[in-house]
Amino acid sequence: MNSENTKLYFYPLWLRIWHGINAVGIIILIITGISMQWGVESSFIEFQLAVNTHNISGVVLTLNYLLFFIGNFATKNISFYLIKPKGFSKRLMKQAHYYAFGMFKGAPHPFPLSEKRKFNPLQKLSYVVVMYLFVPFVIISGFALLFPEIIIDRIYSCSGVLITAVAHSAAGFLISIFLIIHLYVASIGKNPAENFKSIINGWHNIH
């Protein structure tokens, strides 16, 4: 098989199921979360419906995240998220330069995909930060808002519930930005549809 048609099985069934549920759930959380921000009178989705849908979606995504977390450690998929500190900042800069300039000039990808490398340095860093920091924080803060009696009443002179709500919304906003960037990066390539097909059938074409 020549190099232009090499295929790697990057996305096993459990990962594709997780990804699909996660994608739908996050979109629902974003839409209902934005609606809730408008308040009872101005929300574009009936407020209580938005709250209930948001809460149910949050619980489903929490269970789905457990699938991702356990699946990563039960398979070799966790190896794709491990960061080697030595020279990592240089690799980040090299990848950033490629995204900013190189790919528009037809330059070769500095970190081509392989059996041992599913993510380039920037992708790896962003996925680690989002999946192992932001998502757990959103889950914990979301459950705290679902059961506000467990939140500290006052943090200095501010309401603990208010600070938790603001922090939850801010983290959710950052995940929303990540989603937009994620979709953009997924469209980069010889055929913009290829990456989207690979997350459906599991196979990724290597050019």
CB 75 within 8 A of CB 12: yes
Beta strand segments in the chain, E? 6-9, 154-155, 158-159, 203-206
pLDDT tens digits for 8-33? 898 999 999 999 999 999 999 999 99
pLDDT at 26: 95
95-137 residue pLDDT tens: 999 999 999 998 999 998 888 899 999 999 999 999 999 999 9
Give the pLDDT band (50/70/90) at residue 41: confident
Better pLDDT: 146 or 207: 146
Mean pLDDT of 85-104: 94
Q: Set out the domains of the chain in order of their start, with CATH numbers.
A: 3-206 (1.20.950.20)
- Higher model confidence: residue 79 or residue 189? 79
Kindly report, residue by residue over 59-80, the tens digit of the pLDDT. 999 999 999 999 999 998 999 9
Q: Yes or no: say if 119 and 111 are a contact pair by the CB < 8 Å rule.
A: no
Find, among 131, 164, 122, the residue nearest to 22 by Cα.
Answer: 131
- The band of 171, judged by pLDDT with boundaries at 50, 70 and 90, is very high
pLDDT at 207: 65
- Which of 52 and 42 is assigned the larger pLDDT? 52
* pLDDT grade for 195, boundaries at 50, 70 and 90: confident
Beta carbons within 8 Å of 113's beta carbon, 6+ residues apart: 8, 10, 204, 206
Mean pLDDT across the chain, nearest whole number? Answer: 91
